[in-house]
Amino acid sequence: MIPVADRIARLMPAHSDAAARLHRESLGEAWSASDWARYGADERVVALGAFAEDGSLAGVLLIRVVADEAELLTIAVAATWRRRGIGEGLLAAGLAEAARRGATSVHLEVAADNAPALRLYRRTGFCRSGRRAGYYSRPAGRIDAVLMTWTGARPGDRDLTDPVSIRIKKH
């Protein structure tokens, strides 16, 4: 049985190797452990991890806040942890922290063929704000990036700035 992700907390330098591994396995992107350590040390970056009961990483998120704007740099959930609300929990916690730090909007880019991510972002209140043609490379060719922006609005009955409303579904 897989342990349940039971907390979201700040990523520390000691998590850099695990974060790099999870990110590579989830997204195929090879950010190094030193990249993760650098982001984690940057005071402008919200660096969060979803941790299992055994302390292992189930998901990671990085948001860079500059003045009143922020950018979602990455979010990844380990394959064995998907479809349990971990991505939504990480995103909610990251958006809440970005807002606490003064961000009134958060921007992101997502591949147009990444339907699960697009659903997650729409569900958490991101709206489409543009498109970059051929931004991502795939073996079969180039894929557009969908640009999205969050301004604090969210459909539904939960307030992302209220930490009490952030829950991870336990299975």
Note the pLDDT of residue 66. 96
For residue 77, the cross-strand partners are: 59
* Residue 134 buriedness (CB in 10 A; 0-12 / 13-18 / 19+): exposed
pLDDT over 60 at 2, yes or no: no
pLDDT of residue 19: 95
How far is Cα 27 from Cα 25, in angstroms, rounded to an integer? 6
pLDDT score recorded for residue 156: 43
Q: Give the strands of the sheet with 127-138, arranged side by side.
A: 5-10, 45-52, 57-66, 69-77, 105-111, 141-150, 127-138
- The pLDDT assigned to 70 comes to 97
Mean pLDDT of the region 52-80: 93
Over range 21-35, report the average pLDDT.
88
According to DSSP, the residues that pair with 76 across neighbouring strands are 60
The tens digit of pLDDT for each residue in 126-166 reads: 999 999 999 998 888 999 999 999 998 554 434 434 433 33
Residue boundaries of the structural domains of the chain: 5-165
pLDDT band at 83 (very low <50, low <70, confident <90, very high): confident
pLDDT over 70 at 25, yes or no:
yes
The encoded tokens of residue 99 equal: 């807002």
Please state, for a pLDDT cut of 90, what percent of the chain lies above it.
70
What's this model's pTM, rounded to 2 decimal places? Answer: 0.83
Class of domain 5-165: alpha beta
31-64 confidence digits (pLDDT tens) = 899 999 999 999 999 999 999 888 899 999 999 9
What's the pLDDT at 30? 75
Residue 79 CA to residue 2 CA, distance in Å, equals: 12
Asked if the model's pLDDT at residue 26 lies above 80, the reply is yes
Query: pLDDT class for 68, splitting at 50, 70, 90?
Result: very high
Using one digit for the tens of pLDDT, what is the confidence trace for 85-132? 899 999 999 999 999 999 999 999 999 999 999 999 999 999 999 999
